[in-house]
Amino acid sequence: MKYKFHQRDVISILDFERDELEYLFETTDKILDSYIDKKMHLLDGKIIALAFFEPSTRTRLSFEVAAKKLGADVISFTSEESLSISKGENLADTIRMLDNYSDLIVIRHRLEGVAKYAAEIAEKPVINAGDGKQHHPTQAMIDLYTVRKLFGAIDGLTYGILGDLRYGRAATSFIYGLSIFKPKKLYLISPEALRVREEVLELLKNRNIMYEEKYNTEDVIDQLDVLYVTRIQRERFPDPMEYERVKGSYRVTRELVKRGRRELKVLHPLPKVNEIDYSVDASEYAAYYIQAKYGVPIRMSLLILILGGDKL
Ligand code: NCD
């Protein structure tokens, strides 16, 4: 096999080379073109463990759908309360058990670094479905794929990334993902308290990605091809007062997007709370529902490439 996906852990989008992501996207194209409505049997007999220590709707369900469409079975849990962890079992033992029972572990956790830790313990491949405020690699794959589908390319476009750039792992992973390509420019738009973290800016500098930090989307809306909006990550604020100060500090309205280019597309990893006005949902600018839909074929591709080899 040309690219190294077989039995691989997926911890950060930064672990991937551009040509590997392109190969993943081409596989996803094939699935969408020919297989998405069929039951495939590439992973018959495999068991996928979905270990969600933190809430999720789309990520968990789309992994489950992806696994089932490929013929695999799924075992899952969605909170610590239902586990022996609530009896004092440590995380490492829980991972060891999942490693014994399954062929691949998908893990989500509120703490940074848990996916990497799980991958060190488990012999089976581990996919990070979001840990802490930094890494959510499969979301970044979906987001990049969505841009590629909408515009035909990821390179050469101007991106506005709006919202909680400090605590948001989807936003951070999207920025990391873009740094693997050649975007024209990134505008990092947020209130002061939610500014992008220093290590992310360092990476952009090292990779020669042009960026500018902004406070208001209004100032740059007419330059954007993509506006990537994120929710304020209330649950990750160390101080609830800090959250109170920034909540409601930005909102994308129909009036705002109408001042943008005709081709402008608004992306959002979802869930959205109130940062996008309902009037945008039904407009031609909104791309977040199709983006969520691509969660299934992207995750199918990843599971095939990791567990099934190059059989598609
Ligand atoms: C994101 C997450 O969990 O980081 N959700 C998702 O997977 N689409 C974004 C969020 O919770 O805001």
Profile the chain (312 residues) by mean pLDDT over runs of 10 residues: 84 97 97 87 96 90 96 88 66 94 96 95 98 96 98 98 97 98 98 96 98 98 98 92 90 97 97 95 97 97 89 66
CATH number for the domain spanning 91: value is: 3.40.50.1370
> CA dist 164 to 54, 134, 167, 192, 244, Å?
19, 12, 6, 10, 14
Residue located nearest, by CA, to atom 2 of ligand 1: 170
Residue located nearest, by CA, to atom 7 of ligand 1: 59
Q: For residue 12, count CB atoms less than 10 angstroms from its CB and return exposed for 0-12, middle for 13-18, buried for 19 or more.
A: buried
Please indicate, yes or no, whether residues 67 and 184 belong to a single structural domain of this protein. Answer: no
pTM: 0.96
Please indicate, yes or no, whether residues 281 and 223 belong to a single structural domain of this protein. Answer: yes
In total, how many domains does the chain have?
A: 2
Please indicate, yes or no, whether residues 52 and 167 belong to a single structural domain of this protein. Answer: no
Is the CB of 136 inside a 6 Å radius of any atom of ligand 1? yes
Instruction: Using the atom order of ligand 1, give the atom closest to the CA of residue 231.
Output: 12
Probe target for ligand 1 pocket from 108, 114, 146, 169, with the most ligand atoms within 8 Å of CB: 169
- Identify the pLDDT of residue 109: 93
Please indicate, yes or no, whether residues 231 and 165 belong to a single structural domain of this protein. Answer: yes
Please indicate, yes or no, whether residues 181 and 56 belong to a single structural domain of this protein. Answer: no
Please indicate, yes or no, whether residues 76 and 163 belong to a single structural domain of this protein. Answer: no
118 Cα: distance to centroid of ligand 1 (angstroms): 20
Residue ranges of E strands in the chain = 47-52, 73-77, 104-109, 126-131, 158-162, 185-189, 211-214, 226-229, 265-267
Please indicate, yes or no, whether residues 143 and 280 belong to a single structural domain of this protein. Answer: yes
From the CA atom positions of the chain, what is the Rg in Å? Answer: 19
170 Cα: distance to centroid of ligand 1 (angstroms): 6
Count of CB atoms situated within 10 Å of the CB of 8:
18
Please indicate, yes or no, whether residues 147 and 31 belong to a single structural domain of this protein. Answer: no
Is the CB of 135 inside a 6 Å radius of any atom of ligand 1? no
Please indicate, yes or no, whether residues 154 and 274 belong to a single structural domain of this protein. Answer: yes
- Identify the pLDDT of residue 312: 67
Q: For residue 126, count CB atoms less than 10 angstroms from its CB and return exposed for 0-12, middle for 13-18, buried for 19 or more.
A: buried
Please indicate, yes or no, whether residues 148 and 233 belong to a single structural domain of this protein. Answer: yes
Please indicate, yes or no, whether residues 275 and 146 belong to a single structural domain of this protein. Answer: yes
- Identify the pLDDT of residue 68: 96
Please indicate, yes or no, whether residues 116 and 176 belong to a single structural domain of this protein. Answer: no
Domain range enclosing 8: 2-135+295-308
- Identify the pLDDT of residue 38: 82
